[in-house]
Amino acid sequence: MKITSVKTVVVNARMRNWVFVKVETDVPGLFGWGEASMEWKTRAVVGCVEDFVPMIVGQDPTRVEHLYQIMLRHSFWRSEMGLIGMTAISGIEMALWDICGKSLNVPVYKLLGGRVRDRVRMYTHLGGGNTGSVYETFDAQQAIDLAQQSIACGYTAVKVVFVPYSEPLTNIPAVKKFGGLVRALRGAIGDSVDLMIDFHGRTSPAAAVYLLNEIEECRPYFCEEVVPPENIDALLTVKQKTIIPLATGERRSTRHGFREIIEKDAVHIIQPDLCHCGGLWEAKKIAAHAETHYMGVAPHNPLGPIANAAALHFALSTPNFLIQEDMLEDVPWRWDVVKSQLQTQDGYWLPCEAPGLGIEVDEAAAAKHPFEQEIMQTLDTTGPDGAVLDW
């Protein structure tokens, strides 16, 4: 069996463009699908996938690790190609696993070590509506309404972004507003539903500690990206000053990119994104390293339906998996474009026994939603003096 071609199918889903990767073989009817979606870098990722094609066409698609090593190491600029390059590799790698599963007539999770759990706990992201300046007034009721709708659908955990766009220090009104929003939401959903707070990398260590102290009584399940991702020591500084569990990792790739976080015990939970970190097998390696430090894994996933399917197989086969972010209702035609046997029940995904990843792309339906520039959420992310802030 040989790889004959690799192509991308781009589908605009309003907030982002999904980049689906199709790897075709010389076996009639045997091909695999992966996902390489990356917000606002669609053109670059598509181009990067094309750059990898000469490296792998003609190769055996079942040699997944071998092909990963070719794409990573023969690129030479492996660290410099960063998340764009690793996103392209991730999409191809997922498609290779899909081919492997289909060729053996087994679901991918059985190739990743087999099932270690019977179902996969999910949480959904409520957003937060906080666009505009750092002093914008937020409305807790919107988040409460969304949370109650999610709970009615069976979810037992939800996440919000209530953290204001932050300057190096956060003033008292902003801190009190943040605390009031979190307390209102906690009061509405009660203690039986886990609540996560996404800081979105907006805060400095001092501001993060200030905000975390304000909500300690609400006992968040975890707080995510409490500082920007570049400085691990800054993250460790925050961890040493709070009892709230911390999580990070969505903007890092490969086991090498997670090494310092794990070895310094800088967080309690790592959050690799399967579409960015190098794919399923690399995520398994990252999780295994984290397991030696008693860290849980809660993969990041705000992306498309193939990413959902890949996340299910990872979660089913990973012992220290904790909970999975899902994205099931971003556009109403999501499951018209990708056909799936994915089933949810009471806030959990159930195992899928279909071969491969258990998905197929309807390319005719996908063609109805061609590439468009995504909605840019960052254009008005400014402080009171007009300076650019992390969004």
Same domain, 10 and 158: no
* Percent with pLDDT over 70 in the chain: 95
Span 169-175, mean pLDDT?
Answer: 90
Residue 160 CA to residue 129 CA, distance in Å, equals 9
Question: What's the confidence (pLDDT) of residue 133?
Answer: 38
CB 235 within 8 A of CB 261: yes
> Which residues, listed in sequence order, are joined to residue 270 by a DSSP beta bridge?
248, 297
Establish if 365 belongs to a structural domain.
no
- The pLDDT-based confidence of 131 (bands split at 50, 70, 90) is very low
339 and 195 within one domain: yes
- The answer to whether residue 203 is domain-embedded is yes
State the pLDDT confidence band at 128, using cuts at 50, 70 and 90: low
**SS3 call for 233:** helix
Query: 368: which residues sit within 8 A by CB, 6+ positions away?
Result: none
Do 314 and 268 belong to one domain? Answer: yes
378 part of a folded domain: no
Instruction: Name the band, by pLDDT with cuts 50, 70 and 90, for residue 129.
Output: very low
CB within 8 Å of 300: residues ≥ 6 apart? 249, 250, 271, 272, 273, 325
Residue 60 lies in a domain: yes
The yes-or-no verdict on residue 379 having pLDDT over 60 is no
Q: Which of 77, 106, 135 is the last residue of a domain?
A: 106
Same domain, 79 and 153: no
Give the pLDDT band of residue 321 (cuts 50, 70, 90).
Answer: very high
CB 111 within 8 A of CB 101: yes
Structure token digits, residue 320: 């220290």
Mean pLDDT of all residues in 242-249: 98
With a cut of 50, say whether residue 142 has pLDDT above it.
yes
What is the pLDDT, as a whole number, of residue 135? 38
Q: Is the pLDDT of residue 386 over 50?
A: yes
Given a contact cutoff of 8 angstroms between Cβ atoms, the answer to whether 234 and 208 are in contact is no
DSSP β-bridge partners for residue 300: 273
Q: Is the pLDDT of residue 372 over 50?
A: yes
pLDDT at 152 exceeding the cut of 60: yes
Does the pLDDT value for residue 157 go beyond 50?
A: yes
pLDDT of residue 378: 61
Q: Are 290 and 320 in contact (CB under 8 A)?
A: yes
Look at residue 331 and tell me whether its pLDDT is greater than 60.
Answer: yes
Same domain, 79 and 142: no
In this prediction, residue 56 carries a pLDDT of 98
- Start-to-end CA span in the chain (Å): 46
pLDDT score of 130 more than 50: no
- Final residue in a domain of this structure, among 89, 106, 123: 106
Residue 389 falls inside a structural domain? no
194-205 mean pLDDT: 96
Q: Does the pLDDT at position 53 exceed 50?
A: yes
Rounded Cα distance between 255 and 272, Å, is 10
Q: Which residue has the higher pLDDT, 187 or 171?
A: 187
Please name the residues in contact with 303: beta carbons below 8 A apart, sequence gap of 6 or more. Answer: 16, 18, 35, 37, 273, 275, 327
Domain final position from 72, 106, 140: 106
Q: Which band of pLDDT confidence, cut at 50, 70 and 90, is reported for residue 134?
A: very low
Query: What does the angle CA 331 – CA 333 – CA 336 come to, to the nearest 5 degrees?
Result: 145
| Rounded mean pLDDT, 309-319 | 98
- The residue among 321, 324, 314, 336 whose CA lies nearest residue 291 is 321
- pLDDT tens digits, 56-82: 999 999 999 999 999 999 988 776 678
37 occurs within a structural domain: yes
Catalytic option among 200, 268, 276, 369: 200
- Flag whether the pTM goes above 0.85: yes
Is residue 212 within 8 A of residue 197, CB to CB? The reply is no
**Are 120 and 25 found together in one domain?**
no
- C-alpha–C-alpha distance, residues 120 and 79, integer Å: 33
State CA 363 to chain mean position distance.
Answer: 24
Task: Tell me the residue range of the domain where 340 lies.
Answer: 111-356
Helices (H), the chain: 42-56, 64-73, 82-104, 140-152, 172-189, 205-215, 232-239, 254-263, 280-291, 305-316, 334-337, 363-366
Count of the separate structural domains present in the chain: 2
**Looking at residue 124, which CATH number applies to its domain?**
3.20.20.120
- State whether 285 and 143 are in the same domain: yes
Q: What are phi and psi of 209, to 5 degrees?
A: -65, -40
Summarised one tens digit per residue, pLDDT across range 3-50 is 999 999 999 998 899 999 999 999 999 999 999 999 999 999 999 999
Cα–Cα nearest to 92, from 30, 5, 10, 26 = 5
pLDDT given at position 380: 65
Q: Residue 164: its pLDDT value, please?
A: 87
Average pLDDT of the chain to the nearest whole number: 93
Rounded CA gap, 159 and 125, in Å?
Answer: 5
Section 153-166 average pLDDT: 92
Question: d(Cα 34, Cα 47) in Å, to the nearest integer?
Answer: 16
Residue pair 168/131 in contact by the 8 Å Cβ criterion: no
> Partners of 157 in the beta sheet?
194
Q: Are 225 and 244 in contact (CB under 8 A)?
A: no
Q: What is the mean pLDDT of residues 281-307?
A: 97
CATH number of the domain to which 44 belongs:
3.30.390.10
Quick one: 64 and 208 in the same domain? no
Looking at the structure, tell me whether residues 100 and 116 fall in a common domain.
no
- Going by pLDDT thresholds of 50, 70 and 90, the confidence category of residue 391 is confident
Q: Which two tokens stand for residue 359?
A: 């998905």
Is residue 387 in some structural domain? Answer: no
Most confident of 159-168, 205-214, 336-345, 378-387: 205-214
Quick one: 301 and 190 in the same domain? yes
- Same domain for 137 and 87, yes or no, is no
Q: 6 — alpha (psi -120 to 50), left (phi > 0) or beta?
A: beta
Asked whether the beta carbons of 240 and 267 are under 8 A apart, the reply is: no
Residue 372 falls within a domain, yes or no?
Answer: no
From 125, 268, 276, 300, active-site residue: 300
Structure-token pair, residue 90: 């991730």
Identify any residues that bridge with 22 across adjacent strands, giving them in sequence order: 7, 33
Q: Which two tokens stand for residue 390?
A: 């992390």
To the query of whether residue 300 is one of the catalytic residues in this protein, the response is yes
What's the pLDDT at 377? 66
- Asked whether the CA dihedral 310, 316, 317, 321 is positive or negative, the reply is positive
Residues 139 and 209 reside in one and the same domain: yes
